[in-house]
Amino acid sequence: MMTNMSERSPSQGAVIELKDVEKSFGATKVLTGVNLSIAKGETVVILGPSGSGKSTLLRTTNRLEPIDSGEIWYHGKPIPREGRELAAYRAEVGMVFQQFNLYPHKTAVQNITLAPVKRGKQKPEEARARALRLLADVNLSEHANKRPGALSGGQQQRVAIARAMAMDPEVILFDEPTSALDPEMIQEVVHVMKRLSADGMTMAVVTHEIGFARESADRIVFMDEGRIIEESDPESFFTNPRTERAQEFLGKILNH
Amino acid sequence: MDDLLKALPGLLEGLGVTLYLSIPAFLLAMVLGSMMAIFRVSRVRSLEVLGTLYVEGVRNSPLLLILLLLVFGLPDVGILLPLELAVIIGLGLYSGTFVCEAVRSGINGVDVGMVEAARASGLTTRHVISEVLLPVALRTMIPPLATVFITTVLSSALAAAVGVTELTGATRVYNLVAAQPFVAFGIAAAGYLLINLLIGWASAKSERLLRFNQ
Amino acid sequence: MSTSRIFDIAGPRQQRRVRIATTVSLVALVLVGLVVAEKLYYEAQFVSEKWLVFYDLDFIRFLLAGLWVTLQVCAVSLVTSALFGILLALGRLSSVAVFRIPAIGVIEFFRAMPFLLIVFAVMFGLPSVGVSMPAYWQLVVAITVNAGAMFAEVFRAGILAIPRGQREAGLATGLPSRHVFTSVVFPQAVRNTTPALMSQAVRVIKESSLGYIVGVAELLNNARVVSEFTGNFIQAYLAAGVLFVVINTTVSYLGARWADRLESS
Ligand SMILES: Nc1ncnc2c1ncn2[C@@H]1O[C@H](COP(=O)(O)OP(=O)(O)OP(=O)(O)O)[C@@H](O)[C@H]1O
Ligand SMILES: [Mg+2]
């Protein structure tokens, strides 16, 4: 395993693979020697204390942040650095944000159809029909023509997930999708994510929802101070964390 | 009442000239200001510097000085513009700096997360700008741009100082001839108030129409 | 600026494009510069006598004398406008309608008037109702009326921005409400509004150039004298422009520095 990881070539079957990724903001080192590979159909949950670099890890994966050194591969090829190629790559990697980030001037349907139509992936009517089906999947049929301002946080986040799905992405990155939600809305979003995971979507999820991690994760990745310091299956991570930092972290979030 | 009727034609004509100067000047300012705002975010160093020099240089000069340069300076280098055109250019140059600032802060005020979501969804830079950034930013720019428009109308009064008889100039002329300051200045004030109210109303209305909620 | 988060960080191709655009625009700018220079040269604008005002000490001294008057007018006007503005702001914030309504009327009215119209009203309107004064004061009065209305809004915003809690805390310590205003609310309002006041100061400096109309020997008026005396319009006004820009950028810069300090504290 270790020898395989240090070789500078993509491993077989990985959708996304990060290799020795380093990233600093000015003088602060945020990612240090990060290696991670996500296989097709896998749900990887990323845990770690605040400031450990989880968001940055996801953001570098679709190049919202460029990296200083190392490599990121998508299906065995380095991800594009700019231009149309980068846009095309991002179209295959969905992203769901903590703050939903819907377009405030567009309705739920328009939020979903914008990228597919503008990328020429679907015709407008086709995209609309698809969007309505996606909204039905997340139980929002009756809100299709509302603007984000008229939707609750949980509803907005479900629209955001539908928006990510509309591009038929190979993988979806979730950055704390439930952290900005009121407690009673968390479950509606978690429910959608669990179903996606069960349907075989490839997902990388930063979350503090231990229930989701236990049930849906194929693998837990634990980060601390910009490094991945523990990687294991959920069962052993939650019952028997190896590192002290992970024990501390679990102690904190399980007791609160 | 009689005095009012006597004063009105000249002052109304002045009001017409005020609009004739300030509307094209504002349009010019919009074009120039938006262009300079784009320059200033373009990452092309030379254009950034040009934009900064323009904004800082023009915004910090008195408009009267700019008008004097255009009206009395340009003929010295063999450029003879019609008086009104020179004034429109001067006004447009001056208001353009305020348009530039309004556009820039409108763009900078856009929620970064929303733009990142657009980028992350696979939209090209062009579509991020045309479908997400501008539609959202334009709405927030309406009130400051309306203020710039009002300022342009008010600034156009300085045309009177270089010999164009717009509303303020007509007021002075009428007062000189008829010696009726209350009538003259009263009508002029009413004219400017009306323009202010109209622009303010249009701005509030269009802002309401373009609201996001519901 | 936060454009780096609005747009993607430039990759190698984008960087190359930026370099090309820089080169092309530089060449274009230089070409424009050359055309202008050629025109100026052709119109004999480069003859050294034309630029007298930039190196002849007598002219420079004359312009600086104008600048000194500009600064004086502005200093006096800033004080009077601030006083008038505070009065109007307090009026507008008052719960007594007799104070509030006239204050609102005055503020909104003068904000809607062109500055030159106010100047004309002071120059030609006031004398016919028996109020006449020297040119210097005509200019100061016109600025005060106009800038006072602007200052009033700045002050009002500054006062309203002070958390209610602080006011109440002041009252709770037993200070009488007038003292709470002068010792708690007012100093903070001034501190917080200084950047906005600085940009109003730039406005006042620019407005003082209407000494040209009123007949006050300030900077622009002196530039006019130089331009007529030498016949070099462009150079005379450019020289005045340089001085205006230097003064105003300095004031703006200080305002921006103050704003930064406020933000970081
Ligand atoms: N744009 C930025 N500029 C400077 N520093 C940044 C930037 N983004 C993140 N950081 C810093 O990088 C470190 C990692 O941030 P990151 O957001 O990736 O952490 P995180 O694990 O997602 O934390 P959280 O759980 O609070 O979301 C932090 O110290 C943060 O302050
Ligand atoms: Mg985070």
The model's pLDDT over A108-144, given as tens digits with 9 standing for 90+, comes to 999 999 999 999 888 999 999 999 999 999 999 999 9
Nearest to B169 by CA among B186, B184, B150, B180: B184
Domain that holds residue C188: 52-264
pLDDT over 80 (residue C179): no
Task: Confirm if C155 and C85 have CB atoms less than 8 A apart.
Answer: yes
Tally the domains of chain B: 1
Mutate to test the interface with A, among C8, C9, C13 (most CBs of A within 10 A): C8
- Is C43 among the domain residues? no
| Mean pLDDT calculated for residue range B20-42 | 94
CA gap C200, C33 in Å, rounded: 34
CA gap C225, C228 in Å, rounded: 5
Tally the domains of chain C: 1
User: Which of residues 34 through 93 in chain B touch C, CB cutoff 8 A?
Assistant: 41-47, 50, 56-57, 59-65, 68-69, 72-73, 76-78
Q: What's this model's pTM, rounded to 2 decimal places?
A: 0.88
- Cα–Cα–Cα angle for B12, B13, B17, nearest 5°? 115
Region of poorest pLDDT, from A48-62, A227-241, C43-57:
C43-57
User: Between chains, do C13 and A63 touch, taking CB under 8 Å as contact?
Assistant: no
Which of chain B's residues have a Cβ under 8 Å away from the Cβ of C129?
Answer: 181
Q: In this structure, which ligand is nearest to the CA of C9?
A: 1
- Ligand 1, atom 31, lies closest to the CA of A51
- Give A218-246 pLDDT, tens digit per residue: 999 999 999 999 999 999 999 999 999 99
Query: How would residue C32 be classed by pLDDT, with cut points 50, 70 and 90?
Result: very high
CA gap A152, A145 in Å, rounded: 14
Paired with A223 in beta bridges are: A228
Q: What is the pLDDT of residue A229?
A: 94
Region of poorest pLDDT, from A25-39, B102-116, C169-183:
C169-183
Q: In this structure, which ligand is nearest to the CA of A47?
A: 1
CA of A50 to the centre of ligand 2 (A): 7
CATH superfamily entry for domain A14-254: P-loop containing nucleotide triphosphate hydrolases (3.40.50.300)
User: Between chains, do B212 and A95 touch, taking CB under 8 Å as contact?
Assistant: no
Give the β-pairing of A14-25 and A69-74: antiparallel
User: Between chains, do B157 and C115 touch, taking CB under 8 Å as contact?
Assistant: yes
Which of chain A's residues have a Cβ under 8 Å away from the Cβ of B132?
Answer: 103, 114
- Ligand 1, atom 24, lies closest to the CA of A50
User: Which of residues 165 through 184 in chain B touch C, CB cutoff 8 A?
Assistant: 167-168, 171-172, 175-176, 179, 181-182, 184
Mean per-residue pLDDT over chain B, rounded: 92
Distance in Å, alpha carbon of C11 to nearest chain A alpha carbon = 6
Query: How would residue C74 be classed by pLDDT, with cut points 50, 70 and 90?
Result: very high
Helix, coil or strand: residue A163 = helix
CA gap C248, C246 in Å, rounded: 6
Which residue type sits at C17? R
Nearest CA in chain A to C17: A83
Q: Specify burial of residue A255 (Cβ count, 10 A radius: 0-12, 13-18, 19+).
A: exposed
Which of chain B's residues have a Cβ under 8 Å away from the Cβ of C2?
Answer: 108, 112
Give the β-pairing of A171-175 and A69-74: unpaired
pLDDT over 60 (residue C57): yes
User: Between chains, do B64 and C128 touch, taking CB under 8 Å as contact?
Assistant: no
Residue C138 maps to which CATH number? 1.10.3720.10
Which residue type sits at A137? D
Q: What is the pLDDT of residue A55?
A: 95
Please check whether residue A101 touches C, CB under 8 A.
Answer: no
Q: What is the pLDDT of residue C52?
A: 77
Two structure tokens written together for A30? 């945020």
Nearest CA in chain B to A101: B114
User: Between chains, do C9 and A66 touch, taking CB under 8 Å as contact?
Assistant: yes
User: Between chains, do B65 and C121 touch, taking CB under 8 Å as contact?
Assistant: no
Q: Give the other-Cβ count within 10 Å of C104's Cβ.
A: 14
CA gap A228, C34 in Å, rounded: 60
Which of chain C's residues have a Cβ under 8 Å away from the Cβ of A83?
Answer: 11, 13-14
Q: What is the pLDDT of residue B68?
A: 95
Q: What is the pLDDT of residue C56?
A: 83
The reply to whether ligand 1 has any atom less than 6 angstroms from the CB of A254 is: no
Chains within contact range of chain C (3+ C-beta pairs < 8 Å) = A, B
Which of chain C's residues have a Cβ under 8 Å away from the Cβ of A82?
Answer: 8, 10-14
- Give C143-170 pLDDT, tens digit per residue: 999 999 999 999 998 888 877 777 777 7
Report the percentage of chain C scoring pLDDT > 70: 97
CA gap B28, C233 in Å, rounded: 26
- Is C182 among the domain residues? yes
Q: What is the pLDDT of residue A1?
A: 39
Region of poorest pLDDT, from A214-218, B210-214, C96-100, C101-105:
B210-214
The reply to whether ligand 1 has any atom less than 6 angstroms from the CB of A51 is: yes
Domain that holds residue B114: 2-212
Query: How would residue A7 be classed by pLDDT, with cut points 50, 70 and 90?
Result: very low
The reply to whether ligand 1 has any atom less than 6 angstroms from the CB of A226 is: no
pLDDT over 80 (residue C260): yes
Which of chain A's residues have a Cβ under 8 Å away from the Cβ of B124?
Answer: 83-84, 87, 118
pLDDT over 50 (residue A50): yes
CA of A179 to the centre of ligand 2 (A): 10
Q: In this structure, which ligand is nearest to the CA of A223?
A: 1
Run of H or E including A184: helix A183-198
Polymer length of chain B: 214
- Cα–Cα–Cα angle for C49, C52, C56, nearest 5°? 130
Run of H or E including A173: strand A171-175
Q: Which ipTM was obtained for this model? A: 0.93
Please check whether residue B114 touches A, CB under 8 A.
Answer: yes
- Ligand 1, atom 3, lies closest to the CA of A25
pLDDT over 70 (residue A11): no
CA of C104 to the centre of ligand 1 (A): 48
Q: Specify burial of residue A191 (Cβ count, 10 A radius: 0-12, 13-18, 19+).
A: middle
User: Between chains, do A101 and B139 touch, taking CB under 8 Å as contact?
Assistant: no
Q: How many CA atoms lie within 13 A of A159 on its CB side?
A: 33
What lies within 8 Å, CB to CB, of C130 at 6+ separation is: none
Task: Confirm if C149 and C188 have CB atoms less than 8 A apart.
Answer: no
Residue of A18, A22, A28, A29 best suited for mutating to test ligand 1, as the one with most atoms within 8 Å of CB: A28
Nearest to C232 by CA among B65, B164, B75: B75
The reply to whether ligand 1 has any atom less than 6 angstroms from the CB of A25 is: yes
- Give B121-178 pLDDT, tens digit per residue: 999 989 999 999 999 998 889 999 999 999 999 999 999 999 999 999 999 999 888 8
- Give A164-215 pLDDT, tens digit per residue: 999 999 999 999 999 999 988 999 999 999 999 999 999 999 999 999 999 9
The reply to whether ligand 1 has any atom less than 6 angstroms from the CB of A48 is: yes
- Is C9 among the domain residues? no
The reply to whether ligand 1 has any atom less than 6 angstroms from the CB of A107 is: no
Q: What is the pLDDT of residue B155?
A: 96
CA gap B33, A122 in Å, rounded: 37
Mutate to test the interface with B, among A102, A105, A147 (most CBs of B within 10 A): A105
DSSP collapsed to 3 states, chain B: CHHHHHHHHHHHHHHHHHHHHHHHHHHHHHHHHHHHHHHHCCCCHHHHHHHHHHHHHHHCCCHHHHHHHHHHHHHHHCCCCCHHHHHHHHHHHHHHHHHHHHHHHHHHCCCHHHHHHHHHCCCCHHHHHHHHHHHHHHHHHHHHHHHHHHHHHHHHHHHHHHCCCCHHHHHHHHHHHHCCHHHHHHHHHHHHHHHHHHHHHHHHHHHHHCCCCC
Run of H or E including A186: helix A183-198
The reply to whether ligand 1 has any atom less than 6 angstroms from the CB of A56 is: yes
Residue B138 maps to which CATH number? 1.10.3720.10
Q: What is the pLDDT of residue A160?
A: 96
The reply to whether ligand 1 has any atom less than 6 angstroms from the CB of A60 is: no
Q: What is the pLDDT of residue B214?
A: 41
Which of chain C's residues have a Cβ under 8 Å away from the Cβ of B157?
Answer: 114-117
Polymer length of chain A: 256
Task: Confirm if A189 and A153 have CB atoms less than 8 A apart.
Answer: no
Q: What is the pLDDT of residue B212?
A: 65
Ligand 1 atom nearest to CA at A49: 25
Which of chain B's residues have a Cβ under 8 Å away from the Cβ of A97?
Answer: 113, 116-117
